[in-house]
Structure 1
Amino acid sequence: MSTPVTDDDAQIRIERLFGIFVGGSYLIYLAILIPSIDANTDLVARWWTAPAVTVVFGAPLTMLIASLARRRRLARWSAAATAYGYLATGLAWLVAWNHESSPVTLWYSMLPVFAALAAAIVLSARATMVFLCAAVLLACTSEYLARPDDKAGVLPLSIAFTLSFTLLFVAAGVMTLRTARLLDRTRAATYAAAAETAATLARQAHRTKIDALLHDWVISTLLAAGRHGNTGSVRRQALTTLDKLNARPAPAAVVPVRSALTQLRAGVLAVDLTPRVDVTAAPGAGDLTVPADVVDVLDAAVGEAMRNSVRHAGTGTVRQVAIRADATSVTVDVVDNGCGFDPAAIPPHRLGVAVSILRRVNGLDGGTAAIVSTPGAGTAVRLAWTVPS
């Protein structure tokens, strides 16, 4: 059994919507085409109709259920079965046809566009266009054979018209899926570039330190040894150089908790002067020191939360900010009574919430970030850092 997946990627979200749309369309057409299915039974051998209806409509209905349940693997398998099942059904019709004609439209010929949209979920753009041409050719040929009085002499025109009509919808679907895949690749590249930038900065800082050690101590010691030989001062300088090379990295810069609280409060007011900002330090918080980089990350995330509230919460919104510290942690709550939103409905490419707030703080050692919001009921953002154990 396939497992549920989340809509983290744009491609997954679009595929799911396509599955729902195509499966729902097949369900509607099944209800519409029941009279035609019954009327067309006289055109073919008895063995064809029941399997054909099962194959043509069963797979897309499975895709609809799987898409609603977020079972992506099952939905993709059902999409492939929908597409290839349609072609197989058309080829089987040519074998089962008893050379009779009918005044009623062949029900099978009404569905090539939906089969092609299902194919777009699992095939490349070029393969989908080839599939569409094959599906239209089969559908129009079958319709021509079943209704020669209405279609005599116009099969090429019928194929051209059907293909041009369906091509518009299928091309739009293909471009939508292609855009979703491109968006996912661009977003992944953005995250990779951000990680590479951070790693490069870390390497540059480490290299600067190494360069300083080499220039200030190693080279100076070697020059002193070359000029003065094995003297007591050179030996002492050499021992000092070895101590420098073996020394542990200097601890990251830290700031007193009150300085951290002051910086966070200033960051809030730099975005908006109107909110009430409560700053409290619990007993015992005076001895807490916070790494400077932690304060900078919290400051940037709080600023982004405030900007989001100002931009999206609506006019007349009241905002409150609570900044608290105790002996082991710093917590910031940004709360407003604005229009709110559904956090699960935020598109993945919206980096303001996903990257600038959540990932930024959750990436800290000891950092946590959470957003709670409901449409019409405001938004609460909690950012916290606890001294790592």
Structure 2
Amino acid sequence: MATYSPPISSLSAADDQRDQTAGLRILRQMALFVAVGYLAYAVVTIPAITASLAVMDTWWTALALPLVFGTGIMLGPLAWRASARRVKTATTVATAGYLIAIGSWWFGWNGQLLDGTDIWFSMFCGVAAIAAAIALRPGYAFAVLCIVVAATVTINHTVRTPEFNGPLLPDMAWAFAFSLIYFAAAVMAMRTAAILDSTRAQAYTATSEAAAAQARTAERLRFAQLTHDEVMTTLLAAARQDASVELAQQAHRALTALDESATTEVGACVSAADAVAQIRAATSAADPAVRFQSTADTAASGGPQYLLEAVRTIAAAAAEAVRNSRRHAGPAAGTWVSVTANQGRLCVEIVDDGVGFDPRRVPAERLGIAVSIRGRMAHLAGGAATIASRRAEGTRVTLEWSAH
């Protein structure tokens, strides 16, 4: 086998578990957008907050600031690492914090009026509505938008000196229209996220069903080959000639083959030679030009034994890796398959010297790696898959199974 060993960035099955779905990525981006909005308004509204101290009791301001800005800004750190459930919970808290602040405003107002300045929380009611769009269903989020717009505009008209107030309804309509643009964008973003995740889940289901159908087809083909090669041949020989030692041996081989074909229950094992043969057959069927080598440790009594389920899973994953190499590595690329069979351990490496890729940037809709290689090996007890690649430096896929 060629001594090709590219310096590569790898992505294992454990890394794959941390992959973000499209919906989670959009959710985190929207949460980060809201957090940045709250942070920006916390700076911009400092003069308005200072002015409001003349008309609001200190206890209310001390309570309202963390309720509004604290809960909103905390979405930033959570957007990087937290789960979807925690991010949605945090956006719900941020929405509730804003509603509590404006709902308790009356109790903190000392009756004085602002001279030409808006109350500070009225300047970004749309941000609270966007947080609601992330956390709640569209209908409930729209209700929050209507409540915060109506409440903040009404409070503004109440707390400002009358000469600075315009007509209430036009002011309310303008604030609603302005906030509605960003609110609608947030609702559409979350709807798109839900559609993407649903489509991705359907694609995974379809791929799994296709894999199951392929397995059934392969099993039917195996039995058809067994029937033709062993049973029918023996019966034809028996019909054409009298009983003989050769015919008895042929019949014995047919019965042995039938018995072996039935040992597919959990725990069935095959030898190292059979394991290597199955992997060779699967990878050669995927690409007849693949170069193959194997190393088997047969020092132990009777040679190594491997679970048939493990061998078939590795063979299928290796075949998918070879197909991927054939499709994407480039016309001039070579592909090598190396099998190492030790006591209680089976390792297959598929290496090519093609164009390579960045494993962390594989689109979610590309299921060959996620489902047919890493997903297949992840469902095998003792199995693991590592995919390592770098642009212009080739790809290495390592499939391992250990009995311990």
- Judge same fold: TM > 0.5, yes or no: yes
Map 1:216-295 onto structure 2 (within 5 A).
250-252=262-264, 256-257=274-275, 259-267=277-285, 269=287, 277-282=291-296, 284=298
Alignment partners' CA distance in 2, 1:42 and 1:185? 52
Q: State the one-letter code of the partner of 1:149.
A: E
Q: Is the 8 A contact 1:268 1:303 kept in 2?
A: yes
SS at match of 2:321: helix
- Alignment root-mean-square deviation, CA: 4.1
Q: Is the 8 A contact 2:276 2:339 kept in 1?
A: no
String of CA shifts for 1:237-291, please: whole Å, max 9, x gaps. Answer: xxxxxxxxxx999113978345335324424535xx5x7x342333539967878
Q: Is the 8 A contact 2:278 2:315 kept in 1?
A: no
String of CA shifts for 1:157-176, please: whole Å, max 9, x gaps. Answer: 22222222222222222232
* Structure 2 segments unaligned to the other structure (5+ residues): 1-16, 224-258
String of CA shifts for 1:37-85, please: whole Å, max 9, x gaps. Answer: 1123223333332222221101112222233342655544432221112
Map 1:1-389 onto structure 2 (within 5 A).
6=18, 8-70=20-82, 74-97=86-109, 98-145=111-158, 146=160, 148-153=162-167, 155-189=168-202, 191=204, 198=212, 250-252=262-264, 256-257=274-275, 259-267=277-285, 269=287, 277-282=291-296, 284=298, 297-306=313-322, 308=324, 320-328=335-343, 329-336=346-353, 338=355, 340-343=357-360, 346=362, 348-364=364-380, 367-373=383-389, 379-385=395-401, 388=403
Q: Is the 8 A contact 2:51 2:114 kept in 1?
A: no
Alignment partners' CA distance in 1, 2:163 and 2:391? 59
Q: Is the 8 A contact 1:294 1:364 kept in 2?
A: yes
Q: Is the 8 A contact 1:341 1:379 kept in 2?
A: no
String of CA shifts for 1:339-371, please: whole Å, max 9, x gaps. Answer: 53253x656554222112111233345543222
SS at match of 1:42: coil
Alignment partners' CA distance in 1, 2:215 and 2:59? 70
Instruction: Give percent identity, aligned residues only.
Output: 31
SS at match of 1:382: strand
Q: Is the 8 A contact 1:323 1:333 kept in 2?
A: yes
C-alpha displacement of 1:14: 3.0
CA, structure 1 residues 258+99, in 2 after alignment: closer, same or farther (shift >3 Å)? Answer: closer
SS at match of 2:104: helix
* Structure 1 segments unaligned to the other structure (5+ residues): 210-246
Q: Is the 8 A contact 1:116 1:135 kept in 2?
A: yes
String of CA shifts for 1:302-327, please: whole Å, max 9, x gaps. Answer: 344345456666x7985542322435
Alignment partners' CA distance in 2, 1:296 and 1:248? 15
Count of residues in Structure 1 that have an aligned counterpart in Structure 2 = 336
Q: State the one-letter code of the partner of 1:172.
A: A
CA, structure 1 residues 31+336, in 2 after alignment: closer, same or farther (shift >3 Å)? Answer: farther
Q: Is the 8 A contact 1:267 1:302 kept in 2?
A: no
Query: Under a length normalisation based on structure 1, what TM-score does the superposition of the two structures give?
Result: 0.70
CA, structure 1 residues 199+110, in 2 after alignment: closer, same or farther (shift >3 Å)? Answer: same
